[in-house]
Copies of this chain bind each other. A is one copy, B any other.
C-alpha cells in the first residue's frame, strides 16, 4: 500500500463502429503501458465504438456493458478507466468504466452531454462517484464535463486525489497556431485550484469530418503537467509515476490558507 502509482494515458485513434479493431488497439496499448510499469491506464471517451454517431439506432448498436473493459483490466492485472457507450436496458449513456484488476469499481455517466450526444445518450444520473484504491482515491469525468468547474470541485470535496478524464476533445474557435489547447488550460486550472492530479486521455484522428486534437496530459496538483501534452495527431501513451498524497498536501498553501476550507459557501449563490 503506497500512494505512489504509475499512471498511463493511452492516446488512441478509434475507428467508428469497428469494435474488434478498437478492442485490439486498447489491449495492445494496455500491454505496452504495463510493460512500462503502469498500475493505472486511462483510455479515451467512447474508445470501443468511436464517437460520431448519426442515429440512435447506430449508437444503440455500438453500446454495451462494461464487461469487456473489466476483462481487459483483469487480463492485464491493472486498473483501467476507459470511455464506452453504455447500454442499460433501453437507455444509453456516454460512460467511463472504472475497473480494478479484480473487477468493476463502478461506472461514471457523463453529466454534461456535448452536441448531438444529447440525441442518443441520456444525461448522466450517477453523480460523481469517488472510488478507493490501494494508492488513493480516484474519480472520472468525460470531455465537456471539464468545462464545468462545479464538477472538479465536487471531485475534490468528495475526496478524490486523481481525476481520470477519458475525452474526445475537438478544436475550439479562437486558438492561434502553436497555442496550447484550451482543454489543457482547463485541466491545469482545475488541478491547481482544487489540489488534484488530472490524467486526461484524448483521441486523435477524424470521424465523418470531425477532427480530434490529441494533446493528452497528466497534470500535477500544482497545475503544471508532469507528462504531455502529447502530440496533436499521433497514437502514443504517456506514462508518469505520481504520488497521490501530493494532492492532499497541495491544498494547504500556508498557515492561514487551505484551498477547500477557504471556500465562502456562505457567500456563494450558484443556483
Contacts and interface: CB of A to CB of B under 8 A. Distances in A.
Interface of A: 111-116, 118, 123-124, 127-128, 144, 147-154, 157, 172-176, 179, 182, 185-186, 188-190, 192-193, 220, 222-224, 254-257, 259, 262-265, 267-271
Closest 7 CB pairs of A and B: A174-B222, A149-B149, A189-B189, A150-B268, A111-B264, A182-B223, A147-B193
Contacts of A220: 174
Nearest to A188: B185
Contacts of A223: 174, 182, 185
A259 B147 contact: yes
Q: How many copies does the complex hold?
A: 2
Contacts of A189: 182, 185-186, 188-190
B222 A172 contact: yes
A113 B18 CA distance: 54
A254 B147 CA distance: 15
A268 B174 contact: no
A186 B179 CA distance: 16
A177 to B, nearest CB: 12
A269 B155 CA distance: 10
A154 B265 CA distance: 12
A179 B224 contact: yes
A268 B127 CA distance: 8
A222 B115 contact: no
A175 B224 contact: yes
